[in-house]
Structure 1
Amino acid sequence: MRRLARLTLLLWAVVPVILAAIVMAQHPFASPIIERTTTEAHLALTMAVARTVTPEWIGPRIEQALNGKDLQRLSLLNDMARENGVTLSASQRIRVDEELASLEGWRATTGNCIRCMRDVNACPDLTLIASCTIPFELSPAGDVAAVSRQTLNWLKGEEVDEVDAALGALGIAATATTVVSLGSGAPVKMGLTTLRVARKANAISPGLRRSLIAASKTEGGLRKALGDANRIRNSTSSGEVLVILRHADDVDELSRLARLSEVAGKDTRKALEALGKPRSLRLLNRVSDLTVAAIGLLALITAQIITLAHSILKLMLRRAIAPGRNR
């Protein structure tokens, strides 16, 4: 029985050290954070949003959207409340329905469409951006208008928007390429148009603007940014991409938002609204299993060392006290 006990104690002390040595040999802390799979990330985002969207959370935000006449955000919050089973107060429900009713009907749609074509910032409904603004901007006329606008600014001695001018010029070239290549240049053209409309909508942050200018000077840099903009548009919509682009501070963050949009799909804006950008992007990653195992083994070895030190100290104290008792 004593041999079995000694063997058990020996294994308890030695096995964790051996396992830790094997795990550490695989460099678990070299890449401690890894990407979740699409399914894992989508589940993590969905659960986090469901925990966040409560009556206490959504009520004040709907009130803020109502007071600010922000119909885009109001529509989004209304959908989030319905999907998460949150019931608004009777008075708030009436006000929300009245505001959203202004977007319905052919007269309202026609009037809002004209407003969107004139000024994308005045567009009350994101779906109208896709049906009214994008078609014009996607045409050669939209590119020519952008180049002409910046050329006129240059002639007047006013500030020239380098991004708008460059995207317009590249758009004209992409149109020609698309025609010659029988459509193979269409993704590039769409990406250019998306960024140009975003620029008109003030949806490109100063940091992203500087990053795009720098990317345009490197081989393939701008093409990657265009690809990321297209990934967001394909995963969400032509209107929603403008709102999501506002969160990108540089081209690297644009790529991470593209990954988020591929995971969350049509719920990307909802995730950003409920969780914020930092938390939404963090949920795309997790600590690797190997790192978790390494931390667990190191914690176990540390506990063993502390236990052993405690036992030795206790034994030393007993021996120190024993002679005094005998006297």
Structure 2
Amino acid sequence: MFRWSSMMRRPNLARVLAAASLLLALAGSAHWLLPLGREAFALLMARDDAARLADLRLDAELTAGRANREIDEALANDDAELAASFLELADSRALPVPADRRARVLAAASAGTVRQAAAFGRGFVTGEADDLAGLAGATAGDLTVWGDVRDLGRQAGHYLRDEPIDPLMTGLAGAGIAATAATYAAFGTPLTLRAGLSLAKGARRVGAVGLRLGDDLAGLLRSGRHARAIAAVADIGRAGEKAGVRATLAGLRHADDVTDVARLRRLSEAKGGQTLAVLKTLGRGALVLGEIAARLAFWVIAAAANFLGLVAGINNMMVALCRPLWRRRDGRRLQPA
């Protein structure tokens, strides 16, 4: 029979208090640190998947109240396209939109159809645009070889007048002539590429292609890496097909290189008509993590350290409480009576 009186000796009080204090401190911070670490880890894992990244960030950014405010603001600015995009995004995320607000969006979309059709026609004929509908018409006009010849002629005029020429516009127009010929020869097979060239030129006209993206595309054309440049232009065309001209232009404003253009294409394929609202809500954050990546990595490391500390703290606490059960004060193990 064991000598139970020896087993019931009081444990080292200082050791128990130290272990309990550490455990309480770690447990107190875990309730907010571990969820932050989990969210940060999910964002880091989605950094190369624009659609997944946008969904995760929308969870924190887009509420029913904000969606309804954005719809009201768009309607107040006579922006039916943006209002319709936010309505579609709200429906996809099961955010409630009152019936009267929904009806106003549909009415605004119908009222703007005639006005946009007229602007589209002017852009198609002249190649000049005062608004996005006109730009869409100019882009559609580029699907014929005339638009590219017109743009090459303008650049030639700049050269003859000793004015600066745009190497990117020149390269896109030249590629557009070749792509148009290939489209007709292949009965429309490369139509996405042809549309991408038109959209890229339209974006360049209105300043939607930033300096870094423009330099990246022009550099690819100058260096002979035509396959990479063609893939980027095709990505622009695909984004335009899925999300529309305006959403594509909005995304290109946030793209710094052809990798960002590929992310825009994946976002447009996943979100379709919601893309414009996603970009309005998240900006460049819809495509890349950017400067917050380092901060997210810190939260992941901090959460992991907290979890390991909890495990170690529980272990120390159990050791401090159970030590008297297997060791006598003189250091010898308990022996049967």
| Smaller-chain TM-score bracket | 0.5 to 0.7
Aligned: 1:271 with 2:275: no
Give the distance between the partners of 1:34 and 1:57, measured in 2 at CA.
24
Cα gap change, 1:310/1:198 in structure 2, threshold over 3 Å: closer, same or farther?
same
Alpha-carbon spacing, 1:65–1:186, altered in 2? closer, same or farther (3 Å): closer
Aligned: 1:45 with 2:55: yes
Match of 2:157 among 138, 148, 152: 152
Report matched runs for 1:107-256 at 5 Å: 108-117=115-124, 118=126, 121-123=129-131, 125=133, 130=136, 132-216=137-221, 217-219=223-225, 220-256=227-263
Higher relative contact order (CA 8 A, sep 6+): 2
5+ long unaligned stretches in structure 1 = 3-28, 283-293
User: Contact 1:49–1:275 (CA<8 Å) still a contact in 2?
Assistant: no
Instruction: Quickly say closer, same or farther: Cα 1:76–1:262, change in 2 above 3 A.
Output: closer
SS in 2 for 1:122: coil
Q: CA offset at residue 145 of structure 1? A: 0.7
**Paired AA for residue 123 in structure 1:** D
> SS state of the match for residue 244, structure 2?
coil
Among candidates 62, 65, 68, match of residue 55 of structure 1 = 65
In structure 1, distance between residues paired with 2:74 and 2:81: 9
- Verify the 8 A CA contact 2:135 2:202 in the aligned structure 1: no
In 2: Cα distance, 1:49 partner to 1:133 partner: 37
Q: What's the offset of the Cα at 1:213?
A: 1.2
Report the residue type matching 2:152 in the other structure.
V
Q: Distance in 2 between matches of 1:72 and 1:120?
A: 21
| 2:169–2:204 CA contact under 8 A, matched in 1 | yes
Give the secondary-structure state (helix, strand or coil) at the position aligned to 1:276. helix
Structure-2-length-normalised TM-score: 0.62
Quote how far apart the aligned CAs of 1:151 are: 1.1
Instruction: Quote the sequence identity (%).
Output: 22
**1:173 Cα deviation after fit:** 2.1
What is the letter of the counterpart of residue 122 of structure 1? D
Q: Which amino acid aligns with 1:236?
A: A
Q: Could you tell me whether the CA contact under 8 Å between 1:233 and 1:241 is conserved in 2?
A: yes
Task: Report the 3-state secondary structure (helix = DSSP H, G, I; strand = E; otherwise coil) of the residue aligned with 1:103.
Answer: helix
| 1:103 is the counterpart of 2:108 | no
C-alpha change, 1:74 and 1:120, in structure 2 (3 Å) is farther
Superimposed CA distance per residue, residues 106-127 of structure 1 (whole angstroms, 9 cap, x where no aligned partner): xx355323443446652354xx
Instruction: Tell me the distance in 2 between the aligned counterparts of 1:202 and 1:88.
Output: 38
Deviation, structure 1 residue 35: 7.4
**How much has 1:160 moved relative to structure 2?**
1.1
From the superposition, tell whether residues 37 and 221 of structure 1 become closer, same or farther in structure 2 (CA, over 3 Å).
closer
1:260 partner letter = L
Q: Distance in 1 between matches of 2:127 and 2:195?
A: 20
What is the identity, as a one-letter code, of the residue corresponding to 2:203? A
CA change 1:298–1:102 in 2 (3 A) is closer
Deviations 1:279-312 (A, max 9, x none): 5656xxxxxxxxxxx9999866543433344456
1:228/1:147 CA distance change after superposition, 3 Å: same
The question of whether the paired residues in 1 share the 8 Å contact of 2:85 and 2:273 is answered with no
**SS state at 2:112 partner:** coil
Deviates more, 1:159-168 or 1:238-247: 238-247
Instruction: Give the drift of 1:200.
Output: 2.0
Query: Quick one: which amino acid aligns to residue 212 of structure 1?
Result: L
Q: Does 1:73 align with 2:82?
A: yes
User: 1:57, 1:210 → 2: CA distance?
Assistant: 36
Q: Compute the displacement of 1:272 (Å).
A: 1.9
Unaligned runs of 5+ in 2: 3-40, 290-300, 331-337
Q: Secondary structure at the match of 1:232?
A: helix
Partner amino acid, structure 1, of 2:182: T
Deviation at 1:246, TM superposition (A): 2.3
Q: How far apart, in 2, do the equivalents of 1:212 and 1:274 lie?
A: 27
Aligned residues: 269
